C-alpha cells in the first residue's frame, strides 16, 4: 500500500510534511540531486517516486546490487537524450548506492553536473564513509528516521481499513494491542509491519475469525531478531550506546544495550573486548577489580560461547556500570603518547640502563643506580624519566574510589623522595 501523495507518507514530516524541505523543492520545481540515508522500510523509495511524479520527471530505478556501471552509463545516456528531445528531466533512483565503490560512483558526476539527471541515491550506510567526496559535494544528504510507533499504527490502521488498496475487503478488525505489537516488532520498518499485518490477516481468515489479536501476531511474527547489522552503522551505534551507558553508571541501560547486541547476533568476543577497554578507559584505578571482572567474562566467552556466556557478560556490564569512574589512566597514557610523538628519541638516563657487560658498565651504563628495596620505605630519589622531562606528571588520580588511596600513596612517595 504505497502512498499516492506526500500527505500519505508517515514518519518523515521533516522532509515531506507541509513545511518539509522536499515539499518546498517540488513546489518551486527545483530538483537537486540528493541522497536519502535511513534504515530499511522508512520510505526512501516511496519519496523518490513521489518526487518524480509530482515534478513531471521520468523516474528510472536502478539497483547497485543487480547492475553495474555499464548499465548506469546507458541509463544516463538515455536521460541525456530525453532531456534534449523532450525537455524532460530524469530522476535516476539508485538503490543501495553505497554498493558502488568510490571509482564507480565517479560515473555519475558528469551527468549530475550538466543536469541531465537528478540523482536520488538511497543508502542505509553513513554517506560520509561510503560515498566519495566528489559525489557528496554535488548532492544534498537527507536523513530519514525509523518510523515511530504512533505513525506506524496509523499506517497499519489505514492498510487494514482501505478496501481498494489495502485489506479492508476482508472486514477484519484488529485489537489495539495487536496493532501496537506489530508496530513494536517492526522496529521502524514499514515494509516489515505491513508484511506482518498481511500474514496476520491471512491467519485470521484461515481460522475463520473476525479479528486480529496479539496471539495471532505472535504466531506470524515468530521470533523477530533485534535490529542489528554487523559491521555497519547500527553495529557501532549499539556498542557506543553500551559504552556511554556504562560510563554514565546507568545499570539498566547497560544491560539493555548489551542485550540488544547479543540477541541481535553480535559476536560476544567483540563485545567483551570493548568492555575490557571500558574497564581501563572509564574506571581504571578507581576500581582495579573492574578489569578482573571483565577478564573473567572474556574467559567465559572463550570457553563457553553463546548463549552460556551471556550472564557472565551481563554480570560484567553491571559491575562496570556500578564501579567508581575515573579516566585518569586514559588521560595519563594519552599525554604520554603525545609526548612520545613530539619527542620520540629522548635519552634513557644512564642510571637505569641495562649493563650486562663490562664494556657497558665502563661506558657508564647503570652508574648511580640505587636498588629501591635497600632504601627506607622502599623508595629512592632515583630519576627515571629523561632529563628533558624532569619531574613531569602524567598520572593524576581523581578523588573517587581506590584513587583516593592512590593519591595518598603518591604523596607518601613524593615525601620519601624529598627526604633523600
Topology of domain 345-418 in CATH is: post-AAA+ oligomerization domain-like (1.10.3710)
Residue spans of alpha helices (H) in 207-327: 214-221, 233-247, 251-263, 268-278, 289-304, 310-322
pTM above 0.75, yes or no: no
Q: What is the pLDDT of residue 293?
A: 96
Domain ranges in the chain are 6-143, 149-221, 233-322, 345-418
- Edge-first strand listing for the sheet containing 140-143: 58-63, 90-95, 117-123, 34-37, 140-143
Confidence of residue 340 (pLDDT cuts 50, 70, 90): very high
How far is Cα 413 from Cα 399, in angstroms, rounded to an integer? Answer: 18
Q: What is the pLDDT of residue 78?
A: 84
Mean per-residue pLDDT for 147-157?
Answer: 91
Check if the beta carbon of residue 57 is closer than 8 Å to that of residue 63: no
Mean per-residue pLDDT for 84-89?
Answer: 79
Handedness of CA 297, 301, 304, 307 (dihedral sign): positive
Of 33-42, 206-215, 261-270, 275-284, which has the strongest mean pLDDT? Answer: 275-284
Check if the beta carbon of residue 136 is closer than 8 Å to that of residue 142: no
Q: What is the pLDDT of residue 405?
A: 95
Cell of 377: 620505605
Mean pLDDT across the chain, nearest whole number? 88
Task: Return the exposure string of 189-201: e unless at least 16 CB atoms fall within 10 Å of the residue's CB, then b.
Answer: bbebbbbbbbbbb
**Taking the mean position of all CA atoms in its chain, how far away is CA 320?**
21
Domain 233-322 in this protein, CATH class: mainly alpha
Which of 3.20.20.120, 3.40.50.300, 3.40.50.1370, 3.30.2350.10 would CATH assign to domain 6-143? 3.40.50.300
Which of 1.10.8.60, 3.40.190.10, 1.20.1250.20, 3.40.980.10 would CATH assign to domain 149-221? 1.10.8.60
Give the rounded percent of residues in the chain with a pLDDT score beyond 70. 96
Task: Label the pairing between strands 90-95 and 211-212.
Answer: unpaired
Q: Note the pLDDT tens digit of each residue in 43-64.
A: 999 999 998 888 888 888 877 7
Check if the beta carbon of residue 73 is closer than 8 Å to that of residue 107: yes
Q: Residue with C-alpha cell 553513513?
A: 126
Output 211 or 297, whichever has higher pLDDT: 297
Output 248 or 60, whichever has higher pLDDT: 248
Output 217 or 71, whichever has higher pLDDT: 217
Output 164 or 299, whichever has higher pLDDT: 299
Inter-axis angle of helices 214-221 and 176-186, nearest 10: 20
Confidence of residue 224 (pLDDT cuts 50, 70, 90): low
Residue 315 has pLDDT above 80, yes or no: yes
Residue 88 has pLDDT above 70, yes or no: yes
Amino acid at each position: 500500500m504505497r502512498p499516492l501523495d506526500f500527505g500519505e507518507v508517515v514518519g518523515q514530516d521533516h522532509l515531506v510534511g507541509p513545511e518539509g524541505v522536499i515539499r518546498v523543492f517540488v513546489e518551486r520545481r527545483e530538483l537537486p540531486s540528493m541522497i536519502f540515508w535511513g534504515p530499511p522500510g522508512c520510505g526512501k523509495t516511496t519519496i523518490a517516486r513521489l518526487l518524480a511524479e509530482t515534478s513531471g520527471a521520468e523516474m528510472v530505478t536502478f539497483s547497485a546490487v543487480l547492475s553495474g556501471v555499464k548499465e548506469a552509463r546507458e541509463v544516463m545516456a538515455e536521460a541525456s537524450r530525453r532531456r534534449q528531445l523532450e525537455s524532460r528531466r530524469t530522476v535516476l533512483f539508485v538503490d543501495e548506492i553505497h554498493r558502488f565503490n568510490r571509482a564507480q560512483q565517479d560515473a555519475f558526476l558528469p551527468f549530475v553536473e550538466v543536469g541531465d539527471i537528478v540523482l536520488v541515491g538511497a543508502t542505509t550506510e553513513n554517506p560520509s564513509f561510503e560515498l566519495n567526496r566528489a559525489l557528496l559535494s554535488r548532492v544534498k544528504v537527507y536523513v530519514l528516521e525509523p518510523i515511530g510507533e504512533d505513525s506506524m499504527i496509523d499506517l497499519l490502521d489505514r492498510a487494514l481499513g482501505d478496501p481498494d488498496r489495502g485489506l479492508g475487503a476482508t472486514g477484519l478488525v484488529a485489537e489495539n494491542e495487536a496493532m501496537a505489537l506489530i508496530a513494536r516488532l517492526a522496529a521502524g520498518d514499514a515494509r516489515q509491519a505491513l508484511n506482518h499485518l498481511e500474514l496476520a490477516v491471512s491467519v485470521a481468515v484461515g481460522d475463520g475469525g473476525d479479528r486480529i489479536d496479539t496471539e495471532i501476531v505472535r504466531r506470524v511474527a515468530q521470533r523477530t531478531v533485534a535490529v542489528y547489522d554487523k559491521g555497519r552503522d547500527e553495529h557501532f551505534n549499539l556498542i557506543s550506546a553500551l559504552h556511554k551507558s556504562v560510563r554514565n553508571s546507568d545499570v539498566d541501560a547497560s544491560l539493555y544495550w548489551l542485550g540488544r547486541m547479543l540477541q541481535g547476533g553480535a559476536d560476544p568476543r567483540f563485545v567483551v573486548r570493548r568492555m575490557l577497554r571500558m574497564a581501563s578507559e572509564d574506571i581504571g584505578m578507581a576500581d582495579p577489580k573492574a578489569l578482573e571482572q571483565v577478564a573473567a567474562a572474556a574467559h567465559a566467552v572463550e570457553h563457553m560461547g553463546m548463549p552460556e556466556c551471556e550472564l557472565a557478560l551481563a554480570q560484567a556490564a553491571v559491575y562496570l556500570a556500578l564501579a567508581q569512574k575515573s579516566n585518569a589512566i586514559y588521560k595519563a597514557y594519552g599525554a604520554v603518547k603525545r609526548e612520545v610523538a613530539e619527542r620520540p628519541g629522548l635519552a634513557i638516563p644512564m642510571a637505569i640502563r641495562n649493563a650486562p657487560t663490562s664494556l657497558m658498565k665502563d661506558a657508564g651504563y647503570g652508574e648511580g643506580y640505587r636498588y629501591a628495596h635497600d632504601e627506607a620505605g622502599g623508595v629512592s630519589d632515583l630519576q627515571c624519566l629523561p632529563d628533558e622531562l624532569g619531574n613531569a606528571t602524567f598520572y593524576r588520580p581523581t578523588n573517587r574510589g581506590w584513587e583516593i588511596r592512590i593519591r595518598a600513596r603518591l604523596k607518601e612517595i613524593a615525601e620519601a623522595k624529598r627526604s633523600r
